Structure 1
Amino acid sequence: MTAVKTLLELPELRLRLRGGGDLLDRRVTRVYGTELPDPSRYLSAGELVLTGLLWWRGPGDAEPFVAALARAGTAALAASGADSGGIPEDLVQACERHRIPLLEVPPDLSFAVIVERVVLALAAGRDAPTGRLPAHAADLPLPELLRLGSAELGLPCWVLAGTGRVVAGTGLLLPEAEPLAAAFSMGTTLDSRHTVLPAGEGFTVPWALVVGGSTNWTNEQHEIAAEVATLIGRRRGSARQHEVERSLFRVLAEGGDLGESFAAAGWPPDAPVRVVLARAGGAEGDLLDELLAGYPVRVLRGRFGGSACALVAAEGWPDDWPSAATRALSTVEPALTADRVLVSIGGPAALTGVRGALEEAVHALEVGAGRDERIAVVPGAEIGVHRLVLAGVSDELRTALRRRVLGPLLDYDAAQHSDLVHTVRVFLESSGSPAVAAKALHIHVNTLRYRIGRAGELLGLDLTDFTNQVDVYLALRISG
């Protein structure tokens, strides 16, 4: 296997490390040269990208170029500044932000020499046997691992999640994958043309490798399929560990400069953010990973308090995500060990308002905890502003405010065995309409007007005034 650090150790290349010293264990699977400002469509994961920086014209050009490398899963960037006066500083900074190892190529070294040495190193790595698959298979991203397994088996392959989601597929017979995923998620037997192997243990939402075609396999095919399933499970576990350890969430919980932390994570400063929280008796991390899998934009995962937490780029957020998440969780409900599964959503908010969106998600989670259903997905947008405002009020302050605003009315009801408090609540919840409130209370409208007038006298307030109505309604809502 060939790692980035192996290339640095080749004396004839004389490569100089300019950034990403903690990422040198990344495996190189191929080499690719480009001078395009945006090479996105031509990139593959695990590549060593070579560039002479002909695309660089000035500060700011590096950001889109390096961002494209990061999205594709590039192993490292090797750049020669022979024609541009050295490596531009914004390229160094962009590689640091997007966590791409940056290697400086000597001005007098031909890229042809680098390509030749990398190809030889890759060939040597593939000649070292580790089971039935090539040695570099353990370092491939999931789609490439699946394509390799499919090629070795000579059969189409898919990875299916217990929620019914198709995690990845080789592209062959893809229309068959959806019903297969549904069958797998329900625990039913798949048809005789497909073989299922569990892929990874210890996850709340199970994954499986499904291989299509004939089930009359050779011993070698059985071993290859088992190895692919094992590698899928390992990759899933290592990805989860990496995301949970992000330092950004420590800053979010403990205080500090969020702008600096977001920049270090490669997050654009002007990108709106949604906050998603999940609580499921210890299984929330797996569940949240599954619910956000395949999301089309940036997602950062970690923990906040006792909940799994995700920061999601708000642009492109699907309107039906809460209902889709509820359906997915309902699919795996029989396999859940937690008594309750709670998910909440806060935002969208600008970077400066992320902590406010987080508070919104926390309160939405508490609303979900108060519901009867076992699975509750609660967007903060569904919660009235008054509930969010009152959520942060202490019990002592609630009691004091309720007594200060409603005290005379409460005393009157207690002494007269009346229910003016209820009458006022219905009146306010009827938008201050005497006719609507009278109908709801099954009394004459004149009786309603008399009671509201009497309540106003006791409170010393005009209950037809909007500001007074807001104060009284909030005091009523304090006690639920």
Structure 2
Amino acid sequence: MHVHDLLQLTALDLTVLWGEDSLLAREVSGVTATDLEDPARFLQPGELVLSGLVWWAPGDDREKVDRFVAALADAGAAALLAGEETHGTVPEVLVESCRAHRVALLAVPAHTTFRAITEAVYLRRWGDLSRRPAGHYALPENVRTELAGLLAEGAAPDALLDRAFAHLGGPACHLLTATGRVVARTPAAPELTHRQARRDVAAGAGTTLRIEGEQGPYDAWFLHLRGADDAPPRVLHEIAEVLAQYRHHDSARETAARRAADALLALAAADTAERSALDAALHACGLPADGPFRVVVAALGDAEPDQAVRALAEALRHSPDEPFAAGLLPGGQPAAVIAAGSGKATPSPLDAIWPALHECRPQAPLHAGVSGPAATAGDLDSALRQARYALAAARSAAPDGAAVTSVDELTTLGALLSGVPAEVRTAFSSRVLGPLARGGSASHRMLMETLEVFLAQHGSWARTAEILHLHVNTVHYRIQRIETLTGRDLSRLDHKLDLHAALLCR
């Protein structure tokens, strides 16, 4: 298949923004979707690159655009297909950069999904493969026949890998996700933690090949052969095509699971839901009717809920003993219900996986909130409220980064207040601290420092005076001024707590 073949598919409604005939005649080896600012490590030669341009914003300099396009050019991408939905049109600066780096650029209208493009390429490529003369295959005919039979039977990736590499002596090979999760491995391949897998791939040891298909930056699949010479490149590519076909077939199951999860989350979000309806929804998701359960709510910046669901699902798959259902709440918020299992009410180790997820797309803030254990299905609504509060605390802890917060961790006043909306915290602090909050004068700033030290020293006049290098009488005078300005009495515990909370809310 070639780039210009896409233009013949009228249903896609693609438009060439720039591309010479020689570039449009390039052969397409696969498809990858990315909104990473620097996607270089995820690209393979000959791939079509789909991007919604989330990484770009009006006002960004040309250098940022050039870095993105240069990564595509260096990787040998066949073309860039840029979506118009995010910005209404493809920015002219991107057109200029593609022209400068000689990367063909096609515009994707808002009504055309990336999935439609991926499927069109996938079906065309597999049609081309089915018409390929037998002598053009690298895999032996008997291996191809057996792999086709395994695919038809719905065999697992482990069985596919084992059979695909058996005729090569069964070299060590892993099927990995972008976060380092091992999807499958040949019998000779050692067990790897997600950190070891990511380290091996990052080190460039062996051969790594991306599996085609509709996938995001968090759940992409990679075939990683530990020995660089353990399989001929053509054989490796044909095995990757078999795995791509498996994932394409598996997407129907994932779609059905997503619909079931959405239905369960809708019931969990309802103020009142009949137990029979909850039991049926849990059963449809493959979850037990009895708890304990936990609810996780996630956020990927302020948009892209579908990608956030993919990220959350990928993180939860790192704990295979804890079945889950991940989808969208009625308002479009990504969430999941986890069956913790009998006697296992501790939260899933999301905080250990979250950094690996964030590295897949470091420019996008990624947060999650985890509820406490819900003893029964009827407690899911309460667990959902807990998870939402914990999510707010996670966002407060790392607004531009990545964080996971569980309500089990909200064991201090500061941690508890971090889940309060920022506007409410600001209003509370301003109201309680009064003129001190505005810090308009040097004297007010001096009084604020005295208040902070006084409360940190548990109201000890002597220790406060020692730390501030003041006479005790001066400390007494300043505290009296603070009490006058705030209307609080610092001899009372409740008033001390009010002022301490106000300081934490700044």
Q: What's the TM-score bracket when you normalise by the shorter of the two chains? A: 0.5 to 0.7
Residue equivalent to 1:94: none
Segment of structure 1 superposing worse, 411-420 or 351-360: 411-420
Match of 1:357 in 2: 386
Show the counterpart of 2:458.
Answer: 431
Distance 1:250-1:369 versus aligned 2 partners, 3 A rule? farther
How far, CA to CA, are the matches of 1:343 and 1:393 in structure 2?
15
Offset of residue 375 of structure 1 = 3.5
Amino acid corresponding to residue 158 of structure 1 in structure 2: H
Shift of the 215–431 alpha-carbon distance from structure 1 to 2, 3 Å rule, reads same
1:248 lines up with 2:277 in the alignment: no
Structure 2 distance, partners of 1:395, 1:314, is 35
Question: Could you list the runs of 5+ residues in structure 2 that have no partner in the other structure?
Answer: 1-142
Change in CA separation of 1:230 and 1:148 when aligned onto 2, cut-off 3 Å? same
3-state SS of paired residue (1:339)? coil
Work out the CA distance in 1 between the residues paired with 2:463 and 2:289.
50
Aligned to 2:328: 303
Contact 1:406/1:472, CA 8 A, preserved across alignment? yes
Question: Could you list the runs of 5+ residues in structure 1 that have no partner in the other structure?
Answer: 1-128
Q: 1:394 to 1:175 in 2, by over 3 A?
A: closer
Residue number among 298, 313, 316 corresponding to 1:277 in the alignment: 298
Give 2:317's match in structure 1, choosing from 285, 293, 306: 293
1:207 is matched with which residue?
Answer: 221
**Letter of the structure 1 residue corresponding to residue 493 of structure 2:** F
CA distance in 1, matches of 2:366, 2:424: 28
Q: Which SS does the other structure have where 2:363 is aligned?
A: coil
* Counterpart AA for 2:328: R
Partner amino acid for 2:326?
R
Is 1:465 the counterpart of 2:486? The answer is: no
SS class of match (1:370): coil
Give SS of 1:164's match: coil
Per the alignment, residue 198 of structure 1 pairs with 211
User: Does the alignment pair 1:228 with 2:249?
Assistant: no
Q: 1:364 to 1:258 in 2, by over 3 A?
A: farther
Q: Given residue 329 of structure 1, which amino acid in structure 2 is its aligned partner?
A: L
> Partner residue of 1:9?
none
Counterparts in 2 of 1:434 and 1:169: CA distance versus 1, 3 Å: farther
2-structure distance, mates of 1:146, 1:456: 73
- Contact kept, 8 Å, 1:364 with 1:378, in 2: the verdict is yes
Alpha-carbon distance in 2 for matches of 1:471, 1:455: 13
Deviations 1:35-90 (A, max 9, x none): xxxxxxxxxxxxxxxxxxxxxxxxxxxxxxxxxxxxxxxxxxxxxxxxxxxxxxxx
Whether 1:343 aligns to 2:367 is: yes
DSSP 3-state at the match of 1:464: coil
> Tell me, what secondary structure is at the counterpart of 2:491?
coil
**What whole-Å deviation, never above 9, does each CA across 1:4-49 have from its counterpart, x for those lacking one?**
xxxxxxxxxxxxxxxxxxxxxxxxxxxxxxxxxxxxxxxxxxxxxx
Amino acid at match of 1:140: A
Question: What amino acid is aligned across from residue 427 of structure 1 in structure 2?
Answer: F
Greater shift, 415-424 or 358-367, is seen at: 415-424
- AA in 2 matched with 1:359: R
**SS at 1:287 equivalent:** helix
**In structure 2, distance between residues paired with 1:449 and 1:390:** 32
Q: Which digits, 9 at most, give the CA deviation of each residue in 1:236-284, with x for residues without a partner?
A: 6445433432211223345442855542213343314142424155332
User: Over the residues paired in the alignment, what is the CA RMSD in angstroms?
Assistant: 4.3
**Deviation of residue 436 (structure 1)?**
4.4
Find 2:356's aligned residue among 315, 328, 332: 328
The residue number in structure 2 matching 1:101 is: none
Distance 1:197 1:396 in 2: 46
Instruction: Compute the displacement of 1:176 (Å).
Output: 8.2
Residue in 2 that maps onto 1:142: 157
Structure 2: distance between partners of 1:366 and 1:425: 25
State the distance in 1 between where 2:371 and 2:195 align: 35
The alignment of Structure 1 onto Structure 2 pairs a total of residues equal to 340
Q: TM-score, normalised by structure 1?
A: 0.57
- The residue identity in structure 1 corresponding to 2:338 is V
Question: 1:397 deviation in Å?
Answer: 9.4
Contact preservation (8 Å) 1:275, 1:357: no
Structure 1 segment 71-220 matched on structure 2, within 5 A? 133-138=147-152, 139-151=154-166, 155-156=170-171, 157-174=173-190, 181-182=197-198, 185-186=201-202, 189-191=204-206, 196=209, 198-205=211-218, 206-211=220-225, 215=230
> Partners in 1 of 2:427 and 2:445 — Cα distance?
21
The superposition leaves residues 263-319 of structure 1 with CA deviations (integer Å, 9 ceiling, x where unpaired) of 221334331414242415533233222222231212221124555322234465778
Is the 2:429–2:502 Cα contact (8 Å) retained in structure 1?
yes
Per the alignment, in what secondary structure is the counterpart of residue 271 of structure 1? Answer: strand
Q: Indicate if the aligned counterparts of 2:176 and 2:223 stay in contact, CA closer than 8 A.
A: yes
Residue type matched to 2:265 in 1?
Answer: F
Give me the whole-angstrom Cα distance separating, in 1, the residues matched to 2:163 and 2:256: 24
Contact 2:298 2:367 in 1 (8 A): yes
Secondary structure of 1:443's counterpart equals coil
Distance in 2 between the 1:262 and 1:160 partners? 35
Q: 1:450 to 1:261 in 2, by over 3 A?
A: farther
1:443 equivalent to 2:451? Answer no
* One-letter amino acid matched to 2:313: D
Is this contact kept in 1: 2:294–2:340, CA < 8 A? yes
Query: Distance in 1 between the 2:388 and 2:208 partners?
Result: 46
Stretch moving more, 130-139 or 158-167? 130-139
C-alpha spacing 1:341/1:171, structure 2 compared with 1 (3 Å) = farther
Task: Quote the residue 2:102 is aligned against.
Answer: none
- Could you tell me whether the CA contact under 8 Å between 1:299 and 1:310 is conserved in 2? yes
CA contact (8 A) 1:275 1:311 kept: yes
Deviation at 1:388, TM superposition (A): 3.8
Q: Tell me if structure 1 keeps the 8 A contact 2:300–2:308.
A: yes
TM-score, with normalisation over the residues of structure 2? 0.54
**Greater CA drift, 407-416 or 131-140:** 407-416
